[in-house]
Structure 1
Amino acid sequence: MLRAEGPHFCAGFDMTGALGHGQGELLLRMVRIEQLLQRLRRAPFLTVACVNGKGVGAGADLVAACTHRIVEQATTLRFPGLRFGVCLGTRHLAALVGVAQARAVLLNAHEVDADEAARIGLAAAVVDRDRQLAVARELVDATRHLDTTSLAAALALLDTGSDEADAADMAALVGSVARPGLVERLGRYLDRPPARR
């Protein structure tokens, strides 16, 4: 289960000092995020995101990667990666909510509120924060009749991904991050100049 302790779920990629890093280090950090998302999406067990407050960038991608996604009414999710030219989790989001919805969410990088998230399939339920754990337990308990091997097999059969899709996602991410000018694009997105190296 993924759950925040503070007022927000996850701000995603840590932009602190990002403009002072070289493109190679930024590439490695983003590859590690993609690897984490792929492992979470392909986990042989149920994963649940209990989301409060904001989920931004890789934080929103973490939500989308989970089997079950429970949000509170005040939740907003935003996927701004294309604003600085980074393709992260794009194919999975399209498989989850449909190509047209994913296109609208990604190209506009607008905040998806809880009601929209539920409407498009990005959230399974909108639940008050104090009830999220109980609802998460109910979702997990509903599969208690399955042994771990059967559950893993069912999740694998229902998974829209594949080794080929994961490799294509990684290639798209690497290509987008390796394109020259990432630090400058991040600087424009953050509205501050890159640090001098």
Structure 2
Amino acid sequence: MTEDEPVLVREADGVAHVVLNRPEARNALNLPMCHGLSEAFTRLDADDSVGTVLLRANGPAFCAGADLKERDGRDENWVRARRIASFAAYEAIERCSKPVVALVHGAVVGSGGEMAMSCDFIVAADDATFRFPEAHWGTVGATQRLQRVIGKRRAKELLFTSRVMPVDEAADVGLVARTVPAAELLAAGEKIAATIAGAPRLAMALTKQAIDLGSETDLAKGIRIEMSAIERCLADGGWRGGVEDFAAAMRESRARSTAQEGN
């Protein structure tokens, strides 16, 4: 992998960084980037050494939307194939069995929002803004994920007006899970990723799966999905380590309390 590829992947200590790497184009999504994302997340999904994935970007913006320049001179068939490639990239992110956290900063526009919403949650720098201008660019996009994240009426307002949503509002409506100072974004993301990667892998994967499957059905069926996940954890036996760690932590806490009382 060379440093000039549109998508970079770095792995260390159970955490993979997938990095959008077209800073000169403000990481506008083009066809090679779509293919790079699909390939990266398909590979990471099958990599047992990876416990968490961070999706982030080089340069001044997370993603300025689709790269409209690459469509110049193309016909409808090419544009259609290009859109299908972007849908495949979003799906590869969404289907990854590992928790995927988006770290966004600067402008998050159109396709950038789709990528971020395909992750499990978004941590945003305090300089991040969100905009969904697809209809104003003469196309259609973000009509499905956006309404599922923030609700139908809010999604319509953003898509119809193409206005810029500041990060505080994005946090208020649930698009963003957490906001941090821009200078601390990577450090905060790495701390979150390390915490997730430190948990038992099977339990984490099944927790993600249970939430995703449960969101598509009613509570009674959702409880059955969760019970099935619990049975898999019991059969695996990894839960015993969690109980032992908890018991050890309690013993350590009691010992500290006793020592303090003695002082």
Alpha-carbon distance in 2 for matches of 1:34, 1:82: 17
Which of the numbers 8, 11, 14 marks the counterpart of 2:67?
Answer: 14
Q: Which residue of 2 aligns with 1:191?
A: none
The one-character-per-residue Cα deviations of 1:25-49 (angstroms, maximum 9, x if unpaired) are: 0111111101111121222111122
Alignment partner of 1:143: what SS? Answer: helix
| Superposition deviation, residue 134 in structure 1 | 2.3
- Per-residue deviation, 1:66: 1.4
Among 47, 55, 58, the alignment partner of 2:100 is 47
Contact 1:61 1:79 in 2 (8 A): no
The RMSD of aligned alpha carbons is 2.0
User: Are the aligned partners of 2:62 and 2:112 in contact in 1 as well (CA < 8 Å)?
Assistant: yes
Taking the TM superposition and a 5 Å limit, the aligned residue runs for 1:27-46 are 27-46=80-99
- Matched to 1:42, the amino acid is R
Structure 2 partner of 1:71: 124
Q: 1:120 to 1:13 in 2, by over 3 A?
A: same
In the superposition, relative to structure 1, how do residues 59 and 144 fare at CA in structure 2: closer, same or farther (>3 Å)? Answer: closer
Instruction: Identify the residue that residue 89 of structure 1 maps to in structure 2.
Output: 142
| 1:5 counterpart = 2:5 | no
> What is the Cα deviation at residue 142 of structure 1?
3.5
Partner of 1:157, secondary structure, is: helix
Higher strand share: 2
Structure 2 residue 215 is matched with structure 1 residue 134: no
Aligned partner of residue 8 in structure 1, secondary structure: coil
Structure 2: stretches of 5+ with no match in the other structure: 1-53, 217-263
Q: Which moved more, 1:149-158 or 1:6-15?
A: 149-158
**Equivalent of residue 169 in structure 2, options 116, 127, 135:** 116
Q: CA deviation at 1:121?
A: 0.9
* Secondary structure of the structure 1 residue equivalent to 2:196: coil
Equivalent residue number for residue 143 of structure 1: 196
- Of 101-110 and 53-62, the range deviating more from structure 2: 101-110
Q: Percent identity?
A: 27
Q: Which has the larger radius of gyration?
A: 2
Q: Distance in 2 between matches of 1:159 and 1:96?
A: 13
Q: TM-score, normalised by structure 1?
A: 0.74
